[in-house]
Amino acid sequence: MEKQKWYNNIVKVRNIVQIIFSLFLLYAGWQFYRFVRYFETGGKTEFVARPEAVDGFLPISALLALKQLLVAKVFDPIHPAALVIFLTIILISFLFKKGFCSWLCPVGTISEWLGTLGEKLFGRTFELPKVVDWLLMIPKYLILGFFVKVILIDMPIMSVMGFLQSPYNLIADVKMLHFFLDLSPFAIKVLIFLAVASILIKNFWCRYLCPYGALLGVVSLVSPVKVTRNEETCINCGSCTKACPNQIEVHNQKRISSPECNACLNCISNCPQEDETLKLSIYNKLKVSTMTYPVLLLGVFLLMITIAKLTGHWESGITKEMYQQFIPKAEYFNH
């Protein structure tokens, strides 16, 4: 029983990490808004430094920067933090499965909280028929395939570099801010649909539509870390499967290799056995403690950002004068 309480602590730890990271992103968003307003008002408001963390919301720019790095051996000076965050998240997915999705991703956090709301409102969330479920998972892989083909395969390197240096990309973060501050009626309807769908079906966006999650899921397939089940001590109660937010039949598998597993550790925390019937392990040999896992995940995330800062690959090379020139004209720049 004491061990079960210990495992349950990991769920609370994950929730705390989600809350802290979400609050940090809200603060970064507020600081970025103040940064942009300084230039939009012609310097009439207080100037604050641009938080580089907002680059994390520019995955397309990061993918273009990745091609530039691979082909031209040039690290993007415009939004370097976007590339650093992108590569860090991929590295985390290789080392620790899709832990980013369930521990740090703000969209994943909101989706999870909406699912919890659905459970409180209706006493449960709903699962679609398996055939429909599988068909609906196809779009995110198609979207991922489209971006990989268009950017990494088809797009000439000169076009990539031209876009990265374009005025639009210079203020892509500002355009993103304007999009959320002035949502179109269509965008509002889409967000309402996604919110309602996430209340009824756990992780609706993540499960069916997120191309970023699809990429991380593919990478996680080769991760050495997996949830493993001891068939000899398993009592086949199904508690792990019921606890899985991604509909993985944990109780029927020896090693969870599904690209949908986001390492939330719910299955482990809900296992009634006290003999490590379910555990995280590296190649099914070396155990990874459930309390060590978040330390490693967060440690790698912070380490990569620290290295980027120390090596000059974090802060944008865009000057204050360039922002002063482009931000007031942001509405005129289109890709």
What's the rounded Cα separation, in Å, for the pair 227 and 91?
18
Joined tokens for residue 9: 């602590």
**pLDDT tens track for 24-39:** 999 999 999 999 999 9
Query: Measured between alpha carbons, how far is residue 267 from residues 213, 252, 262 in Å?
Result: 20, 13, 11
What's the rounded Cα separation, in Å, for the pair 36 and 49?
10
Task: Write down the pLDDT at residue 11.
Answer: 85
Residue 7 has pLDDT above 60, yes or no: no
Q: Are strands 225-229 and 286-288 parallel, antiparallel or unpaired?
A: unpaired
> How many CB atoms sit inside 10 A of residue 298's CB?
16
Percent of the chain having pLDDT more than 90?
87
Average pLDDT over residues 221-246: 92
Task: Write down the pLDDT at residue 297.
Answer: 96
| Residues contacting 149, CB < 8 A, separation 6+ | none
What's the rounded Cα separation, in Å, for the pair 323 and 331?
14
pLDDT band at 1; cut points 50, 70, 90: very low
What's the rounded Cα separation, in Å, for the pair 111 and 155?
33
CB 256, CB 233: distance < 8 Å: no
pLDDT band at 2; cut points 50, 70, 90: very low
What's the rounded Cα separation, in Å, for the pair 143 and 214?
9
Task: Write down the pLDDT at residue 8.
Answer: 57
pLDDT band at 283; cut points 50, 70, 90: confident
DSSP sequence for 191-215: HHHHHHHHHHSTTHHHHHT-HHHHH
Angle between helices 106-122 and 2-40 (to 10 degrees): 120
**pLDDT tens track for 38-80:** 999 999 999 999 999 999 999 999 999 999 999 999 999 999 9
**pLDDT tens track for 192-221:** 999 999 999 999 999 999 999 999 999 999
Task: Write down the pLDDT at residue 237.
Answer: 92
Task: Write down the pLDDT at residue 274.
Answer: 72
Average pLDDT, the chain: 93
What residue has token string 């892509």? 172
Average pLDDT over residues 167-194: 95
CB 201, CB 126: distance < 8 Å: yes
H helical segments located in 244-291: 266-269
Residue 264 has pLDDT above 90, yes or no: yes
What's the rounded Cα separation, in Å, for the pair 298 and 294?
6
Task: Write down the pLDDT at residue 276.
Answer: 79
Task: Write down the pLDDT at residue 3.
Answer: 46
**pTM of the full structure:** 0.93
Residue 275 has pLDDT above 80, yes or no: no
Task: Write down the pLDDT at residue 6.
Answer: 47
What's the rounded Cα separation, in Å, for the pair 21 and 51?
14
Residue 287 has pLDDT above 80, yes or no: yes
pLDDT band at 286; cut points 50, 70, 90: confident
What SS3 class is residue 18?
helix
